[in-house]
Every structure is written in structure tokens, then in C-alpha cells.
Amino acid sequence: MKIKAQMSMVLNLDKCLGCHTCSIPCKNAWTTDPGSEYMWFNNVETKPGIGYPRLWENQDIHKGGWEVENGKLRLRAGGKLRKAAQIFGNPNLPGMDQYYEPWNYDYQNLTTSPEQKHQPIARAYSSVTGRPMTPQAGPNWDDDLAGTQVTGLDDPDFAGLDAQALLQFQRVFMLHLPRLCEHCLNPACVASCPSGAIYKRDEDGIVLTDQTRCRSWRFCMSGCPYKKVYFNWKNHHSQKCIFCYPRVESGQPTLCAQSCTGRIRYIGVMLYDADAVHELAATPDPAALYEAQLRVFLDPRDPAVIRQAEKDGIPHQFLTAARNSPVYTLISDWKLALPLHPEFRTMPMVWYIPPASPLTNETDIDIDTQLDAMRIPVRYLANLFTVGREEPVRDALRKILALRRFMREKTFSGPDAAQALETAGMTPESAAAMYRLLAVARYEDRFVIPTVRREDAPGEDVEALKGHTGYPDRDPVAPEFKGVHA
């Protein structure tokens, strides 16, 4: 057993407002250089919808992530030989039109236009070509169901459901899905890069890009099933979410978590068995991958785990943070949070609490009946988080509904919550603790982040890493491929 630490995040979709406040500071801080106009390291998608880039969930098209062949993991897009054959023409690479062609509006025309009979307009001009254009897509083209009447039928998460019926006005539903790089335990982007430019930090698991080694092959883009690696069309480098590592190293949360008005984000440390990752990621039955990933996590309160972690060089501050981690509580203790598309086999480390939704009929009957009366079908959420298995989603939603009933009884003398708590496997004490963390958690309860010193990182040459983890406006472009067009 080899124990490693991983910075992780949980998002409570039951409280997401869809306000995009998380996306703006991320955009302003990390993607302001030319060529990154279309990049959103954090974006908030509306479901149902096809997302950004278009149909990113459909790996029959994009060939991202891993698959199992003869009991072993292999990249869905193929190994070294196939990549060598396709190195100058990657057939699985999403084009810019699948993201969107960035544009600016000619606002100056509104102020400089001479007097005329008709109102002047601010026409859209492409940031790439400079020519007039009509926008056809964006980072959330389905925003609040605006485009869902056109794109909704192509949503892969409708598998096993009547999408046509569920998109009718009387039955349509909506949820917001904030997305960022998953900083996976088994990242396909790292395995796909021929030049080794993308790597996973040993001390905290954050996945970064060494821009001085990037050779513009862009296999990382097609290899990532979540499509959270981007290509800067101006400087010809790959760029991605860096989990705000300069902030995290000083004990501060990421910008998206810091700015979230709904306080839906939790950040903490997870300990995991690195030796078990590949074996569990290769679990033959895709429906068992959620439980497989739970098994890779280790209990930070177990004395045996603590002793082994100390032997493996895990710093004391990481072990303390892991014991107090809200992420571990939500994922492993309460089993409220679920992984996004575990069938990609990358073992993602940004997890989600599924949203409860209004009931299609007014009822105050037992909780299991309420689950079937929810506007968001449980099967849809199961396709999103547990490869179609409904029971883990139902367990999480039972706890959320039982908690609501418990607090309603406590505050307003509502219906008896004892049976609901028992059905959900909860006690009044655990319900009170869950309420404190989900509803009224303090800043220091939501973000338990140990400080990190790079010189303490085990097994790394710190001098060799200097200047290799930033972005083009912060790191020099390698002279040997300045001006190279891939």
C-alpha cells in the first residue's frame, strides 16, 4: 500500500444558483492572455443540455478516458502506436466550433455612429479572424433551458428515458452543473501526452501543465473525457485548470470556491492507496466503479493508515487536514457526494451532491414515494453520477429529504421525522451535523486546506520544476517552438 494525498472538491448541486459567479474570477485570473478567449476553466452548464464543448459526455465521438480490454486499462483513443500514426492529424480532437468561436461586439459603433434613421447595432466580430459572425455556441448555450428545445434530445444522460416527453413544457426540469478539471487519480490526459508535459503533483495530486515541454500535439485535449484541457491557438500551448495552486499552497481556497455566493463548494484532503488505483479503475462492471473508487480512499482516522502515511512521507499538516476534511465526510462517511461519470475510469476527484427537486404532485407521504415524484428523474441523475445505478442516488436523496423533514419538524412542528431518519439510516445527531455542514457551515468548516511548501515535496527536484507550472504570461515560451503551428 502506497498512501498519497489528494486535494479534492465537493459541490452541493442542491444549492447551486446557476449565477456563474464562480466562473468570472477564474476567467479574469487565469485566461486573459490572447488565444484563451474561448477557455473557461470553470463553467456552469444547464442540464438537460449538450454542454461545453458540445456533446463532451459522448465518448463514442470524442474517445476520451479509459476502457478495459482483456482485464487491463487502455486509453479509449489508443496507445502509443496509434498516437504515433495520428500525431499530425488527431481524428478525435474537438474543433473550435464544438467549443465556440470567441467574439467581441463592436460597441464603438454605438457611440461613433452618425445621426441616422435606424438605431445602430453592436455587431459581433470573431476574435480569431476579425470578421463579422453570428454566434452559434457558448460556454453555456443551454443556459436556463434557453437552447434545450434544440439540443436537449442529444443529451446522453437521457439514456433509458423518454427525452421527448421529459422536454415537454409541463414536465421539463432543470439543474445547474458547475464543471472544472477533475484532477483525477487516474488522469487520461497525463497518459495521453507524448511529451510528458502534463503531470500530477506528488504532494497534493493537482494536475498541471509544464508549458516549456508542451509540443502542441493536443492528445491531452482528446484524452480528457471531461474536455477540460484547452489549446491556446495563439501561443500553441495546452492550458487547463490549476486548482488555483498558488492560493491552495498558502491555505486559501480556489477562486471559484471563494467567490461562490451559494456556498456550495467544499475543499479538503483525501488519502488514497495509489497502488490500488489501476486495479480498481479496471473494475469490469462499469456500474461498480462508484463503489470501487470509494474503496481506494483510506480512513484518515485509522491508526494503521496514519502510521503508513507517515512512512510514505505525508506531512503532518496533511494528515490533520484529512481527519477534518469536509470532503471525506461528504463522500465516505455520509455518502452524499457522487462522482461525475465514473464510467470514464479516470477516478475523478471533484464530486457532486445530487439535487433534490420539486415534486410533480403535492404529497407528504413516505420519502421513497417522493423520490419517484421528483421533477428531475432519479434515472437521469444516475446516468450522470453512477452509470445508471439508481440506488446510490436514492440513498443520497433520502438523506437530503430526511434532513429537510427533520428541520421542518424541529422548527415548525412539521410531520414526524423519526421514520424518515430511520429510512435514511440517520439519527437526530447525524442529521444535526449534516445540517451544520450543508446549510450553515462556517468558512473554516467548508475549506480545510493544509499549507504546502514545494521544498517538502517528496521525490521531486524543486529547482527543475521552477517556472514550469504557470501560464504563458508568467512562464517564458520555449524558444524551440515559438511560432510553430500545430
pLDDT of residue 478: 34
Burial of 93: CB neighbours in 10 Å, binned 0-12, 13-18, 19+: middle
Residue 227: CB atoms within 10 A of its CB come to: 21
At 175, which helix (H) or strand (E)?
A: strand 175-179
Pairing assessment for the beta strands 207-209 and 198-200 based on DSSP bridges: antiparallel
| Alpha carbon distance 281, 225 (integer Å) | 15
**Helix, coil or strand: residue 8:** strand
* Whole-angstrom distance, CA of residue 32 vs CA of residue 35: 9
Q: What is the pLDDT of residue 364?
A: 62
Residue 247 falls within a domain, yes or no?
A: yes
What does the block give as the cell for 171? 414536465
Strands (E) located in 31-101:
43-47, 66-69, 72-75
Residue 408 identity (one-letter amino acid): R
- In terms of Cβ atoms closer than 10 Å to its own Cβ (0-12, 13-18, 19+), residue 162 is exposed
- Specify the number of domains making up the chain: 1
Q: What is the DSSP string of 84-136?
A: HHTTT--TTPPPHHHH---EEE-THHHHHPPS-SS-----EEETTT-SB----
Domain CATH code at residue 14: 3.30.70.20
Please say whether the beta carbons of 206 and 183 come within 8 A. Answer: yes
Q: Are 340 and 346 in contact (CB under 8 A)?
A: no
Torsion of CA 433, 434, 439, 440, to 10 degrees: 20
pTM: 0.90
Indicate whether 209 belongs to any domain. Answer: yes
To the nearest 10°, report the CA torsion of 59, 64, 68, 70: 100
Torsion angles phi and psi, residue 239, rounded to 5: -135, 150
Domain extent, residue 327, equals 1-45+173-456
Q: Cα(118)–Cα(114) distance, rounded to whole angstroms?
A: 11
Residue 214, in any domain of the structure:
yes
In a domain, 152, yes or no: no
Q: What pLDDT, on a 0 to 100 scale, did the predictor assign at position 363?
A: 61
Tens of pLDDT, residue by residue over 263-277, are 999 999 999 999 999
Cβ atoms of residues 183 and 243 within 8 Å: yes
Nearest Cα to Cα of residue 7 among 244, 305, 293: 244
CA 163 to chain centre: 24
Domain presence at residue 428: yes
267-297: buried (b, 16+ CB within 10 Å) or exposed (e) per residue?
bbbbbbbbebbeebbbbeebebbbebbeebb
Q: Residue 435 domain-assigned?
A: yes
Half-sphere exposure of 378 (CA within 13 A, CB side): 18
Q: Does 91 fall in a domain? A: no
Alpha carbon distance 421, 144 (integer Å): 33
pLDDT at 484: 30
Split the chain (486 residues) into runs of 10 and give each run's mean pLDDT.
Answer: 96 96 96 94 96 95 94 91 83 89 91 87 92 91 86 93 91 95 97 94 95 92 96 94 96 96 97 97 97 97 97 95 97 98 98 92 76 94 97 97 90 78 92 94 95 59 44 35 30
Could you please report the per-residue DSSP string of 320-358?
A: HHHHT-HHHIIIIIS---EES-GGG-S--SEEEEPPP--
> Of the candidates 134, 467, 451, which has an alpha carbon nearest to the alpha carbon of residue 320?
451
In this structure, the strands spanning 3-12 and 350-353 are: parallel
The answer to whether residue 120 sits within a structural domain is no
